[in-house]
Amino acid sequence: MSTFFTSSSYMPCSACGASVPTAEREKHVCDPERVLDYRMFHLRGELASFDDVLAEYLDSPHGRFAQWLAADGRPLS
């Protein structure tokens, strides 16, 4: 298939996801806030499960011991 059919005059920036005219991609400068938003969007699954993972850890033998150490004012390692 020719590239004629599968190219687009706009493409999303791989770093920030912004829609950038293909002819101007060399000039594109990412907005740092947008880069952060884009990365956070891709981590949304992990972020959503963070509380569950933390609760599971805190309920594990290692997590309970870490809590006991912290309550006693001693470092874990």
**Residue ranges that bind other proteins, judged by CB under 8 A:** 1, 3, 5-12, 17-19, 21, 37-38, 41-42
Nearer to other proteins, 25 or 64 (CB): 25
Shortest Å distance, C-beta 26 to other proteins: 13
What is the full DSSP assignment across 2-62? -HHHH--SEEE-TTT--EEEGGGTTT----HHHHHHHHHHHTHHHHHHHHHHHHHHHTSHH
Shortest Å distance, C-beta 2 to other proteins: 9
Q: Residue 77 is encoded by which pair of tokens?
A: 């390692």
Shortest Å distance, C-beta 54 to other proteins: 25
